[in-house]
Structure 1
Amino acid sequence: MDLAFIPSPSGSVWHLGPIPIRAYALALIAGIVAACWITEVRLRSRGAPKWAVLDIATWAVPFGIAGGRLYHVFTSPDAYFGADGDPWKIIAVWEGGLGIPGAILLGGVGVWFACRQLKLPFTMVADALAPGLPVAQAIGRLGNWFNQELYGKPLEAFWAVQIDPAHRVAGYSEYAAFHPTFLYEALWNLGVALLVWGADRKAKFGAGRAFAVYVALYGIGRFWIEGLRIDPAQTFAGLRLNQWMSVVVIVAAVIYLLRVRGTRQVFVLDGETRVPVAWDSGRAKAAGYAGGRLPKGSELTEPEVSEPVKAEPDEVAEDSKAGGPDGT
């Protein structure tokens, strides 16, 4: 009995006159927009200026795309420097091939530059970005479906994806359906986004810990999904390079979570100055905090709680130097 597999799109490029409209590019743009919207909402709840995310994205997006492309070329060099490779293809980002680890690493450098300009704590922005980034990755994986790329081993199941002969990996031309690893990763990333959002809402993470949770969870999913893929990649000791990278980021994220402590902070506007204040919904409400604005000359009052949080700006600055709360 024949199984009904998931079909692949018949095309990934449409033309608006002489202008090619590529599904991969549309998926990337949609993912970026979603991540920006989620991050903007979360930044505003922390008292950041309105639309700060646009200034951040101006730096982070080009840095991230460059980093993602460089990482892809480094981990899959044969297509560019092999016997039949074409080095000029390195700039053909629209054909697919962006490595998430490289995009996050170099994109983070772009975020750091933006934070320096906006005078916002880098870790606060990272925590605000933590749920939006996996949502962007999930949307971006739709581009892999249109390009018929980054699928896994042959599979005979109703959720397998059909791949046209022209897009099948060398050595697998006799197979018609494969593990839709891009779909696995998209679903995993959506789950990661929900878990990070829920955990951050409950625990009020600060000091970059929400981002560390995202990194650890993403690394776990990427490790096992990467093990199913059959696209050419560098290997070492029986594992693909991306699997080793997953191990590294998981260990680094867990160490960070175990060693770093920090109370979430919001930034309130006292006159013309944004003042970091340790997060406590009771204190913020009692002080008239709303959307990041604290009336000039007003002071935070103690709420009716058993253990009020101390949040003097001078103390916050001292804690930051000592490795404690750092403005997130």
Structure 2
Amino acid sequence: MNSVAFSIFGFSIKWYGILIATGALLGFFIASFNCKFRDIDYDTIIDIALLSLVIGVIGARVYYVIFQFNTYNGNVLDMINIRKGGLAIHGGLIFGITTAFIMCRHKKVDFLKAVDTVAPSIIIAQAMGRWGNFFNQEAHGGPVSQAFISHFPKFIQTGMYIDGTYYQPTFLYESLWDFVTFLILMFVIRKCNKKGIVFFLYIGLYSVGRFFIEGLRTDSLMLGPIRVAQLMSCIGVVACIGFILFSYRKEIVKK
């Protein structure tokens, strides 16, 4: 599996970066359609999203390095090199959403409307980004038999054949789950007017899938014996349920 798409003047352009950039562009395109469902200006979304994206990528790397700090042996250049992967989505979300919140306050924009608008864009970009993991041959699960991997397309089998062993294509599971979540969010944003529901559904649905998929992976970031992504997923599910119950509290009480 070749992680390099092509080279320009001797500089290698990797599939990982291409797919992340393509996912971001697709996300902006989708957001342009979703703005009308939350009555928010697209130019405002662009302003907020561009800075949030940049800070989010930095945050994703910082988050990853914090949990893998001992493996870098103090090498700062390796710490900032993302060409081989090493971006943690939870770090990206924490930094990116915080940036969006601050910018919304500064621009006097409704934060929940803004994040509702971009939630489908975020998850479809994640779905594409996982294929960058495929080309880097990372974010996979444990060893599997040839009989098991034979149920997948040939190119998946080839990509998951690493150093003489076949591995569970967990990147594919998460990409498919992200795409299903994207379809759900695109439906909900058109049918539900309650602010914040789309965003918190994104948090909840992504967290459910990530919790189970993370249990299959071999490269999890760890906090002692705890898989960090699973811990964050539990928090995400609780936050989702809590927000939905809060949003519909009056309807629930009436029943």
| Pairwise TM-score range, normalised by the shorter structure | 0.7 to 0.9
- 162, 165, 178: which one pairs with 1:164? 162
Task: Give the deviation of 1:19 after TM superposition.
Answer: 3.0
Shift of 1:53: 2.7
Cα deviation per residue 1:237-256 (whole Å; 9 max; x = unaligned)?
4x412111111111122112
Aligned equivalent of 1:41, options 33, 36, 39? 33
- Kindly state the Cα deviation for residue 234 of structure 1 after the two structures are TM-superposed: 1.4
Q: 1:196 to 1:11 in 2, by over 3 A?
A: closer
SS of structure 2 residue aligned to 1:98: coil
1:20 corresponds to which of 6, 9, 12: 12
Find the counterpart in structure 2 of residue 259 from structure 1. Answer: 246
Counting only pairs closer than 5 Å after superposition, residues 60-75 of structure 1 correspond to structure 2 as 60-75=52-67
On the 8 A contact 1:75/1:241 being kept in 2, the answer is: no
Structure 1: 5+ residue runs without aligned partners? 1-8, 166-174, 263-328
Paired residues in the alignment total 240
Give the structure 2 partner of residue 145 of structure 1: 134
Cα-to-partner distance string for 1:61-90 (whole Å, 9 max, x where unaligned)? 111001111111123334324xxx744311
- Which protein shows a greater Rg? 1
Q: Distance in 2 between matches of 1:151 and 1:53?
A: 34
CA distance in 2, matches of 1:86, 1:181: 30
Give the whole-Å Cα distance in 2 for the aligned partners of 1:124 and 1:60.
15
SS at match of 1:65: helix
Contact 1:40-1:52 within 8 A present in 2 as well: no
Asked if the contact 1:76/1:232 (under 8 Å) is kept, the reply is no
User: What's 1:223 paired with?
Assistant: 211
Q: Which amino acid aligns with 2:137?
A: Q
Deviations 1:131-165 (A, max 9, x none): 11110100111111111111101112222552332
Residue pair 2:160, 2:168 contacting (<8 A) in 1 also: no
Distance 1:196 1:46, change over 3 A: closer
Aligned counterpart in structure 2 of residue 247 of structure 1, from 229, 234, 239: 234
1:120-135 matched pairs, under 5 angstroms = 120-135=109-124
Q: Residue 132 and residue 218 in structure 1: after superposition, are their counterparts in 2 closer, same or farther (change >3 A)?
A: same
Could you tell me which of 200, 210, 232 is aligned with 1:212? Answer: 200
Letter in 2 for 1:79: T
Return the letter of the residue paired with 1:10: N
Cα distance change of structure 1 residues 78 and 233 upon mapping to structure 2, 3 Å threshold = farther
Compared CA separation, residues 105 and 184, structure 1 to 2 (3 A): same
In 1, Cα distance between equivalents of 2:242 and 2:170 = 29
What residue number does 2:47 align with?
55
For 2:2 and 2:42, the matched residues in 1 are separated by 42
Native 8 Å contact 1:127 1:211 kept in 2:
yes
Asked if 1:185 corresponds to 2:183, the answer is: no
Distance in 2, Cα, partners of 1:133 & 1:216? 14
What letter is aligned with 1:37? Answer: F
Change over 3 Å in CA distance of 1:216–1:183 after alignment to 2: same
Q: Which has the higher helix share?
A: 2
Report if the CA contact (8 A) 1:163-1:178 is conserved. Answer: yes
Question: Is there any run of 5+ residues in structure 2 with no aligned partner, and where?
Answer: 250-255
